Structure 1
Amino acid sequence: MTNAAVVILAGTESHADVGRMVNGLETAKEFAQADGDDVELIFDGAGTQWIPELEDESSDYHELYQAVRDDAAACDFCAGAFGVEDAIDDAGVVTLDDHDGHPSVQSLVDDDYEVITF
């Protein structure tokens, strides 16, 4: 049994960012589908900008996102800093503010999660 925290930090500005986001979603999906594994998918920093795009049914990656959406959360501070707070709220995605408005990576490590960043 593995606990994995997939953190998507890649923004939406480049082809490389798209690749990192897709690889993050695929990694989260792989853990989600494995019996006994637990996955947390966290959109942090510029990665919070992906949520409104992935919520759009016309997105090329909407279906992939839907496969892991129930495991998704976003950084509360970064959602505001990157101007997507309302879209994340409208989507019903949980925001995390455990450490100074950000998700706590330290608590994930304490809970034996492998932290993987994209």
Structure 2
Amino acid sequence: MTKTAVVILAGTGSHADRGRLVNRLETAKEFAQTDGDEVELIFDGAGTQWIPKLEDERNDYHELYRTVREDTSVCEFCSGAFGVADAVADAGVVTLDDHDGHPSVRSLVDDDYEVITF
């Protein structure tokens, strides 16, 4: 059994960012589909901009995102800073504000999660 937190920091501005997103969604999916594993998928920083795009059923990666949607959360502060707070709220995605409005990486480490960032 493993506990992994996959943190997506890559924004939506480039082909490379899209590649980072897809690779991390695939990573989260692999953990989510493995019996006994736990995964947390966290969109943080510029990565929060992906939520409204991934929630759109016409998006190329919508179905992949749906495979890990129940394990997904978003930085509350960064969703506001990057202008997607309303879209995140409309989507009903859990927001995290454990440490000064941001997710607490320390808490994840304390809970024995391996933290992977991209």
Percent identity over paired residues = 81
Q: Where do residues 24-103 of structure 1 align in structure 2 (5 Å cutoff)?
A: 24-103=24-103
Letter in 2 for 1:109: V
SS in 2 for 1:26: helix
Superposition RMSD on alpha carbons, in Å? 0.3
Q: Could you state the TM-score of these two structures normalised by the residue count of structure 2?
A: 1.00
Structure 2's unaligned 5+ residue stretches are: none
Give the partner amino acid of 2:33. Q
1:112 corresponds to which residue? 112
* TM-score scaled by length of structure 1: 1.00
Aligned-partner SS, 2:29: helix
State the 1:100 CA deviation: 0.3
Letter in 2 for 1:62: H
Q: Distance in 1 between matches of 2:95 and 2:23?
A: 22
What code does the residue aligned with 1:9 have?
L
Name segments (4+ residues, structure 1) moved above 2 Å: none
Unaligned residue ranges in structure 1 (runs of 5+): none
